[in-house]
Amino acid sequence: MKHFRLTTSFLLLTTFITLLTSCFRGVPKPLPIAIIPQPQSIQRSTGVFTLHKTLRIDSSEPLQEVAEFAKKSLATTGISISSKSTAPAVIFVHDTTLVNEEGYRLQVSQNSIHISAKDAKGAFYGLQSLVQLLPTDIPKDPIHIPCMTIDDYPRFSYRGMHLDVGRHFFPVSFIKQYIDMLAQLKMNTFHWHLTEDQGWRIEIKKYPKLQSIASQRKETLIGHYTDQPPQYDHTPYGGYYTQEEIKEVVAYAQERQVTIIPEIEMPGHSQAAIAAYPELGCTGNPVSVATTWGVFDDIYCPKEQTFEFLEAVIDEVITLFPGPYIHIGGDEAPKTRWKNCAHCQELIQREQLKDEQGLQSYFIQRMERYINSKGKKIIGWDEILEGGLAPNATVMSWRGTAGAVTAAKEGHHVILTPTSHCYFDYYQSQNETEPLAIGGYLPLKKVYDFEPIPEAMTAKEASYVLGAQGNVWTEYMKTTDQVNYMVFPRALALSEVLWSDKKIKDYTNFIHRLQNFLPRLDKKGIRYANHLYEIKGRSFYQNDSVYFELKTTLPNSRIRYTVDGSTPTKNSASYLAPFYLTKSCTIKAAVFEEDRMLGELYTTHFKKHLAVEQQLQISPAPHPNFDSGGSRALINGIVGHHKRFNDPEWLGFNSDSVRLTLKLNHSQKMNTLRVRFHNGKTSWIYAPKDIRIQSKTGFQRVQNIPESKRPFVETAIELNGLVADELYLTIYNYGKIPDGRPGAGHNAWLFINELILE
Ligand code: ACM
Ligand code: ZN
């Protein structure tokens, strides 16, 4: 038998040949091979396995449970399971020679299909690959699976998805569907974020007020956190999972080889628990379950009564979750109350701690000792590094990757969840019709391109990286449909990051497999985001002129566009190459198939002003994570969208000040300079307080910018007919973020776009 190594181009070629050969009568049309995540190795061989709706499932003893699961899961595709010895068979083979316990070999031959694995985990993943080789619904006519051998195993041992059920609560049926989808994508961990300021969601029998008070809130914020004035829905909201429901979910996950990590937040994000039991806080004063988003000052006070409470909570939690880890949170705990609490200050003295950070470390280490004594390990967000890491803790690095590097240097296991690539609450499209989200911009391709091992790590440090996880914070996800929309298809891209070797990843090939996968989501009624026909626009400078480029996710799509503000039609210009922008205009574009528009209409505005096509020097340079548009992004005539900050229009800085030198080709008369800043305080981004503007001719002005709650700020500097060929701007960073706000104590970020000179 002849074997080929399967490559991307080979896959596309075989699909093409398949289409061609299927035109000839008598040649069976093999099904496409389109598995997500991409298996490590697929070797095609000649022939096909023909399936006439009926299959027998057989297995060696240790894989019996997976075989039983296979019967149930294949039956949902319409296959009838037969016990007749003559029926074509799927045979699970226990093979102890395989190295990886999550690995498997799937052999499709003309007469049978063998799934070999050392462990139930591998057998389960072999089954998932087989299911993806079959159509979503088995047709009446026979189908033909190409003969092949798949040898497969994961790149990372931790492949996770998180879900926040505190901000919004989702029913058990949805949690099961979520876990089911993770399992199909060969993800093995569900991080269940069960407690929050806005609601406590796990039944704790010893503390009934967690159910009656902490699980309920009076009302919920409407719109974005930064909208002014804040508005509320005046509707009580709540819910929690009973221990019986949790057992049911845990059993469901176990059957799908998914481990659940429960998160019980401490010391911060605990306002709901303090609302139920005010004595757990520093002041003892009543507080309510939070009705808005953000970071709250009322956190657990590290007193004996609090530890007694948390230990009793942990006692009940560990009886429910058989996995090795308890996540204790540790993030975003303002020290405002601790600084003013006699008990906290005395404890700092008594334990000879350096400060409140030391007290946080004391808190976490004490809880770690308790949890370790029960045979479980802790995971915490990267703030648990501050003030000294608990000895056996695993760190979840979310504020970038620096926490991961530090923890790995100290010999701790790490899981990567940096906001830049793993926060699925960020926008996934630049389209203005996107449903409201927290902010940010994380398109599918960026998730796909994520590399979980930070560049700054040595090989030894990299060995501490267990894997990565997508985080789903649900402030702006009220419904299960909205959660699905934010999760899919980005979770598919992440599954491939975590499972498939870097060498075999290929985005175009992934997109083809994704199109094949979408009917599986349709069948389950999962509402996913589809930006395959989304147009992305980009302006760039070439020979001192501004050009505009249009692109789509799918190569070879037909884009039609206009520059007069009209909606493109089948007769509009076909986009062939970047075009030159000479005057202010509105660009509209869409993907067309024949005369039909696919996907959403793309719109952007180009404003020709005096700074466009001039020169701009920036010192210091923007932060490398936020400089993708280049220095002229600030003078390209395209105004950055006010809801985002991490697209190419915005430049981001974390220096104390930024000096901009604008050089014009000739002296010009200037009336105003408008400068725009992002002001997304939940993302630690602040508009500056002052800008100094000067010219060579001695003009000088300092513009003060009042602090604003709006998500972006535009300031207009009056130039009163100044005639000059150079302008110098010094923009001063806001400085340290005040206590009680997200990122307190850190330097604020400064995001600029655009300088509009008129
Ligand atoms: C987090 O996003 N606060 C971990
Ligand atoms: Zn206190």
What is the rounded (10 degree) CA torsion for 607, 612, 613, 616?
-150
Ligand 2 center from residue 681 Cα (angstroms): 27
Ligand 1 center from residue 121 Cα (angstroms): 30
Asked, as a colleague might, if the bond just before 37 is cis with ω within 30 of 0, I would say yes
Of the residues 104, 132, 152, the one at which a domain ends: 152
Q: What is the C-alpha to C-alpha distance for residues 733 and 686, in angstroms, rounded to an integer?
A: 8
- 27 part of a folded domain: no
- 338 part of a folded domain: yes
Ligand nearest to the CA of 283: 2
- Is 242 found in the same domain as 178? yes
Q: Name the 3-class secondary structure at 566.
A: coil
Q: Is the CB of 426 under 6 A from ligand 1?
A: no
- 393 part of a folded domain: yes
Ligand nearest to the CA of 471: 1
**How high is the mean pLDDT of the chain?**
93
Q: Is the CB of 331 under 6 A from ligand 1?
A: yes
- Is 619 found in the same domain as 600? no
Of the residues 577, 606, 635, the one at which a domain ends: 606
User: Residue 245: which domain range?
Assistant: 158-523
Q: Is the CB of 255 under 6 A from ligand 1?
A: no
CB-based burial label for 285 (10 Å; 0-12, 13-18, 19+): exposed
| Reported pTM | 0.82
- Is 179 found in the same domain as 142? no
Q: Which atom of ligand 1 is nearest to the CA of 398?
A: 4
Distances (CA, A) of 451 to 421, 467, 565: 9, 10, 40
- Is 293 found in the same domain as 206? yes
Per-residue buried b or exposed e for 23-39, using 16+ beta carbons within 10 Å of the residue's own CB: eeeeeeebbbbbbbbbb
- Top mutation candidate among 270, 379, 381, 397 for ligand 1, by most atoms within 8 Å of CB: 381
Q: Concatenated DSSP letters for 390-411?
A: -TT-EEEE-SSSHHHHHHHHTT
- 457 part of a folded domain: yes
**Whose CA is closest to atom 3 on ligand 1?**
331
The predicted structure's pLDDT at residue 27:
59
The Cα diameter of the chain in Å comes to 95
**Whose CA is closest to atom 2 on ligand 1?**
398
The predicted structure's pLDDT at residue 5:
36
Q: Kindly state the DSSP code that residue 278 receives in the 8-state scheme.
A: G
Ligand 1 center from residue 160 Cα (angstroms): 15
Q: Is the CB of 265 under 6 A from ligand 1?
A: no
Q: Name the 3-class secondary structure at 105.
A: strand
Ligand 2 center from residue 302 Cα (angstroms): 6
The predicted structure's pLDDT at residue 26:
54
- 247 part of a folded domain: yes
Q: Which atom of ligand 1 is nearest to the CA of 471?
A: 2
- Is 142 found in the same domain as 245? no
Q: Concatenated DSSP letters for 355-390?
A: SHHHHHHHHHHHHHHHHHHTT-EEEEEGGGGTT---
Ligand nearest to the CA of 338: 2
What CATH code is carried by the domain that includes residue 466? 3.20.20.80
- Is 619 found in the same domain as 601? no
- 335 part of a folded domain: yes
The number of distinct structural domains making up the chain is: 4
Q: Which atom of ligand 1 is nearest to the CA of 419?
A: 2
Q: What is the C-alpha to C-alpha distance for residues 4 and 126, in angstroms, rounded to an integer?
A: 21
Ligand 2 center from residue 275 Cα (angstroms): 16
Q: Is the CB of 398 under 6 A from ligand 1?
A: yes
Q: Is the CB of 227 under 6 A from ligand 1?
A: no
Q: What is the C-alpha to C-alpha distance for residues 531 and 553, in angstroms, rounded to an integer?
A: 8
The predicted structure's pLDDT at residue 532:
86
Per-residue buried b or exposed e for 689-709, using 16+ beta carbons within 10 Å of the residue's own CB: eebebbbeeebeeebebeebe
- Is 675 found in the same domain as 653? yes
Ligand 1 center from residue 366 Cα (angstroms): 22
Per-residue buried b or exposed e for 142-159, using 16+ beta carbons within 10 Å of the residue's own CB: ebbbbbbbbbbbbbbebb
Express each pLDDT in 639-691 by its tens digit. Answer: 887 777 777 889 999 999 999 999 999 999 999 999 999 998 888 999 999 99
Ligand nearest to the CA of 423: 1
The predicted structure's pLDDT at residue 12:
39
Do strands 690-694 and 700-704 pair parallel, antiparallel, or not at all (unpaired)? antiparallel
Of the residues 134, 152, 170, the one at which a domain ends: 152
Q: Is the CB of 381 under 6 A from ligand 1?
A: yes
Ligand 1 center from residue 398 Cα (angstroms): 7
Ligand 1 center from residue 377 Cα (angstroms): 20
Average pLDDT by consecutive 10-residue portion of the chain (758 residues)?
A: 35 38 54 96 96 93 96 93 92 96 97 97 98 93 96 98 98 98 98 98 98 98 88 98 98 98 98 98 98 96 98 98 98 96 98 96 97 98 93 96 96 97 94 86 95 97 98 98 98 98 96 94 95 87 90 87 96 95 94 87 92 94 88 89 78 95 94 94 91 94 92 93 96 92 90 94
Chain centroid to CA 758: 40
Express each pLDDT in 481-504 by its tens digit. Answer: 999 999 999 999 999 999 999 999
Token reading at 150: 């798949």
- Is 180 found in the same domain as 310? yes
What CATH code is carried by the domain that includes residue 66? 3.30.379.10
Ligand 1 center from residue 193 Cα (angstroms): 11
The predicted structure's pLDDT at residue 171:
98
- Is 309 found in the same domain as 232? yes
- 544 part of a folded domain: yes
Q: Is the CB of 647 under 6 A from ligand 1?
A: no
What CATH code is carried by the domain that includes residue 747? 2.60.120.1190
Ligand 1 center from residue 713 Cα (angstroms): 26
Q: Which atom of ligand 1 is nearest to the CA of 423?
A: 2
- Is 681 found in the same domain as 584? no
Q: Kindly state the DSSP code that residue 620 receives in the 8-state scheme.
A: S
- 528 part of a folded domain: no
Q: Is the CB of 400 under 6 A from ligand 1?
A: no
- Is 368 found in the same domain as 499? yes
- Is 303 found in the same domain as 224? yes
